[in-house]
Structure 1
Amino acid sequence: MARENDASAPGRADTPTADGILAAAVREQAPGAADIPLVARIAAGEAPREVFTVLALEQHQIITADRGSFRHLARRADGDPPVAAFFEAVAEGESMALGALSGLEETCGLDADALREHEPRAGCQAYPSYVARLALEAEPADVVIALTANFAAWGGCCATVAHALRGRYGFPDAACAFFDFFAEPAAELAVLAQAAVRHGLDASRVTPRLAHRYGRLLQEYELMFWTALAE
């Protein structure tokens, strides 16, 4: 069966490159300033402090779920080392993020019982549910593209929240560490993403149309996360 990415065949003038595909995905999936009203309210110091308690509770479950999904993707990509390396790094990053989240949990007065007994909001958990679906059935190289675009958007939101937590809400650095972690550009991860997509292109395992769809849906589910937090 012919692949949908036949434009990558050797000799074609319009042959896509890993850098070009990733840059286009980030550009096309970037949210507009009006897309996430809650982040704008946080930036202005107008959101209630309770939002950050719910955020910590929901993110604890999201990170744990995503880490399992990324590990599964790494196993599925076992025969494609550059792709597997990307997901191994992302899974390790989730473990680091979970550790960083503890500062926000402590600042919000959350203990192990509160984390365990929290009943999650469907709108917040739609994102990791879709990541799990991708982990089961999507081509891993396409998921690399989708996640790269989504991570860029999420990182921008985290940078805004981290700045507001310090300047508007007076939170200590420990409570901001989770957002600082995602706000910092991950140069090593970008290199791994490029290598993974390049390998996927060489192996004819990249379908830009599907990668774009996955990225669009991930971004829409992330918008649902912020909307559910505000409710």
Structure 2
Amino acid sequence: MTENPLVALIATGTAPVETLATLALEQQRVIPADRRAFLHLAQRATAQPETADFFRTLAEGEAEAARRLTAFATACGVDEPRSRTYEPLPGCQSYPAYVAWLALNADPTDALLALTSNFAEWGAYCATIAKALRHHYAFTNEACAFFDFFAEPAPAAPRVEPTDKELVRQYSRALQHYEGSFWATLLPRP
């Protein structure tokens, strides 16, 4: 797992609740954007039924994550007016913007390989956060359910061959960079 300074702060209970609130607010934008991107990839993968099914499964997972996110946001003090008026941070939204770019431009098989290359690390971050929210922040199981969901093993991806291995590596590196930007943008400022 890559070193993630924000996850480390959350793990020790030293991240402010306001930082957690911002995480919730940003995820309220990421989740529906990723869901739409996965649905678009499924639509583009009609000649690859297993790939299309996988993207539909991911889209269903995003819908479930959105339902679970509400309790986390509420536990962080985020209400509907704040949610509605929140202005997202570009450093956090670069990740879903790139996922949308992949949905429009990458071969669906290559996008699948790039996206799944990061699932284990994201899942490990979520497991750490869920544990810390319970231990250090006294959040309920319901408030931790968003992170519990992503901490579970990701759906099994179909075995596919890339159309271009170098492009898949580039896409994967870019996704890792944008995810790093997401977490770095959320770090509390002195």
Q: TM over 0.5, yes or no?
A: yes
Aligned partner of 1:226 among 179, 183, 188:
183
Question: What is the aligned partner in structure 2 of residue 95 from structure 1?
Answer: 63
What is the root-mean-square deviation of aligned Cα atoms in Å?
1.2
Please tell me whether residue 131 in structure 1 is matched to residue 88 in structure 2.
no
Is there any run of 5+ residues in structure 2 with no aligned partner, and where? none
Please tell me whether residue 144 in structure 1 is matched to residue 112 in structure 2.
yes
Q: Is the 8 A contact 2:93 2:182 kept in 1?
A: yes
Shift of 1:86: 0.8
Normalised TM-score (structure 2): 0.94
Question: What is the aligned partner in structure 2 of residue 19 from structure 1?
Answer: none
In 1, the alpha carbon distance for the partners of 2:23 and 2:163 equals: 34
In 2, the alpha carbon distance for the partners of 1:139 and 1:58 equals: 27
Shift of 1:113: 2.2
Please tell me whether residue 165 in structure 1 is matched to residue 138 in structure 2.
no
Q: Which moved more, 1:103-112 or 1:131-140?
A: 103-112
Shift of 1:146: 1.0
Amino acid corresponding to residue 194 of structure 1 in structure 2: P
In 2, the alpha carbon distance for the partners of 1:179 and 1:46 equals: 18
In 2, the alpha carbon distance for the partners of 1:86 and 1:52 equals: 30
Shift of 1:151: 1.5
Question: What is the aligned partner in structure 2 of residue 32 from structure 1?
Answer: 2
Question: What is the aligned partner in structure 2 of residue 74 from structure 1?
Answer: 42
In 1, the alpha carbon distance for the partners of 2:66 and 2:76 equals: 15
Question: What is the aligned partner in structure 2 of residue 63 from structure 1?
Answer: 31
Aligned partner of 1:43 among 1, 6, 11:
11
Instruction: Extract structure 1 runs of 4+ deviating beyond 3 A.
Output: none
Percent identity of paired positions between Structure 1 and Structure 2: 52
Please tell me whether residue 178 in structure 1 is matched to residue 146 in structure 2.
yes
Question: What is the aligned partner in structure 2 of residue 13 from structure 1?
Answer: none
Shift of 1:222: 0.6
Shift of 1:49: 1.3
Q: Is the 8 A contact 2:69 2:145 kept in 1?
A: yes
Question: What is the aligned partner in structure 2 of residue 8 from structure 1?
Answer: none
Shift of 1:112: 2.4
Shift of 1:32: 2.4
Aligned partner of 2:170 among 205, 213, 230:
213
Question: What is the aligned partner in structure 1 of residue 88 from structure 2?
Answer: 120
